[in-house]
């Protein structure tokens, strides 16, 4: 008799304790019983609370979850988490199937550097330390970015746009741009700092879309893509509505559960590599906004 059991797919999700990360974990647990998930966040207590919530929503899922404490802005923390997961995989006789680089922040009270470190350097170093654990030929990496990236590139200076949209962009070029952005912030007046603070999220996501192209070129045995979940109501986006005196619904925000589609598609379906996808799971340009439901980008 031929076994119909699917091979276990182990997946690391960063920033998994709330928002879109939590919704992605929930969707994978509910829709893909063959998955085993490494549930990563920075805080142990929040991790425990989130896992307790998940196991009450998806009964019997306790055995499919491992909590991993990892701060994606800290390389030592990433390296330690990689060692922990390597041991867990070895005990199970498995390789890592996928990584979802979801952890992200919109701003920081200390300035723009933290945003760049989490949103751009985080996905870079997570793959650096976890790549050897990924299963060749079928491994997947999904970098969660945002339409704020294309929107930023549509109005930024020509030099930045040309570098971040070039198919042969290097990590050194991306890193240089991030260092320039941080240095500009440090040398700016208070009013200029305010503008840079408002732009850093889009800038960092544009850099991560470029990073995705570079990673896909460098790691051809796995598939690496980025995507936007859409305009989703989270702790990160809620202040946007509050500052305008509107409800999330009036702002057009959707529930986190509605923001998982593009990520799940890139993890589980037959896809290309090195591209950016809209919330409707359709390939999109990285230098301008493509509305969901409009034709796919083919450039």
Please indicate whether residue 256 or residue 106 has the higher confidence score (pLDDT).
106
pLDDT for 240 beyond 80:
no
pLDDT for 208 beyond 70:
yes
pLDDT for 233 beyond 90:
no
Residue 92 in tokens:
């199970």
- Ordered domains of the chain (ranges, CATH): 9-284 (3.40.50.720)
The predicted structure's pLDDT at residue 4: 47
The predicted structure's pLDDT at residue 236: 74
Burial (CB < 10 A; 0-12, 13-18, 19+), residue 196, is middle
Distance of CA 245 to the CA centre of its chain: 29
Nearest to 204 by CA among 145, 263, 143: 145
pLDDT for 3 beyond 50:
no
pLDDT for 16 beyond 90:
yes
- At 119, is the secondary structure helix, strand, or coil? helix
- The neighbouring-strand residues paired with 35 are 9
Residue 166: CA count within 13 A, CB half-sphere: 12
DSSP string spanning 63-112?
GGEEEEE--TT-HHHHHHHHHHHHHHHHHHT--EEEEEE----S--TT-H
Phi-psi region of 131 (alpha: psi -120 to 50; beta: other; left: phi over 0): alpha
The predicted structure's pLDDT at residue 87: 98
> How far apart (Å, rounded) are the C-alpha atoms in residues 282 and 296?
6
Question: How far apart, in Å, are the Cα atoms of 10 and each of 93, 214, 222?
Answer: 11, 24, 15
Residue 222 in tokens:
């796995």
Of the listed ranges 244-248, 250-254, 265-269, the least confidently predicted one is 250-254
Cβ atoms 103, 14 nearer than 8 A: yes
Q: Compute the average pLDDT of residues 82-88.
A: 98
Average pLDDT along the chain: 95
pLDDT for 231 beyond 60:
yes
pLDDT for 213 beyond 50:
yes
> How far apart (Å, rounded) are the C-alpha atoms in residues 133 and 194?
41
Cβ atoms 118, 72 nearer than 8 A: yes
The predicted structure's pLDDT at residue 255: 85
1 secondary structure, DSSP code:
-
Q: Confidence class of residue 120 from pLDDT cuts 50, 70 and 90?
A: very high
Q: Residues 25-60: pLDDT tens digits? A: 999 999 999 999 999 999 999 999 999 999 999 999
């Amino acid at each position: 008799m031929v076994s119909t059991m699917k091979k276990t797919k182990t997946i690391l999700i960063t920033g998994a304790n709330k928002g879109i990360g939590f919704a992605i974990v929930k969707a994978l647990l509910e829709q893909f019983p063959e998955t085993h998930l490494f549930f990563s966040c920075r805080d142990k207590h929040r991790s425990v609370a989130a896992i307790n919530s998940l196991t009450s929503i998806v009964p019997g899922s306790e055995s499919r979850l491992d909590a991993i404490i990892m701060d994606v802005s800290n390389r030592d923390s990433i390296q330690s988490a990689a060692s922990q997961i390597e041991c867990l995989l070895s005990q199970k006789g498995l390789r890592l199937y996928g990584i979802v680089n979801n952890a992200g922040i919109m701003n920081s009270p200390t300035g723009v550097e933290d945003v760049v470190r989490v949103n751009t350097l985080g996905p870079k170093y997570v793959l650096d330390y976890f790549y050897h654990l990924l299963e060749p030929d079928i491994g997947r990496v999904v970098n969660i970015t945002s339409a704020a990236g294309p929107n930023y590139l549509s109005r930024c200076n020509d030099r930045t746009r040309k570098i971040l949209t070039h198919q042969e962009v290097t990590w050194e070029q991306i890193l240089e741009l991030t260092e320039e952005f941080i240095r500009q912030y440090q040398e700016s007046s208070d009013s200029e700092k305010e503008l840079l603070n408002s732009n850093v999220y889009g800038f960092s996501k544009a850099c991560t879309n470029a990073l995705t192209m570079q990673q896909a070129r460098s790691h051809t045995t796995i598939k690496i893509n980025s995507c936007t979940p859409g305009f989703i109501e989270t702790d990160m986006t809620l202040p946007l509505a509050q500052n305008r005196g509107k409800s999330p619904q009036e702002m057009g925000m959707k529930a986190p559960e509605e923001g998982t589609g593009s990520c799940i598609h890139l993890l589980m379906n037959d896809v290309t590599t090195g591209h950016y996808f809209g919330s409707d799971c359709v390939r999109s340009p990285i230098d301008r906004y493509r509305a969901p439901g409009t034709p796919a980008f083919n450039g």
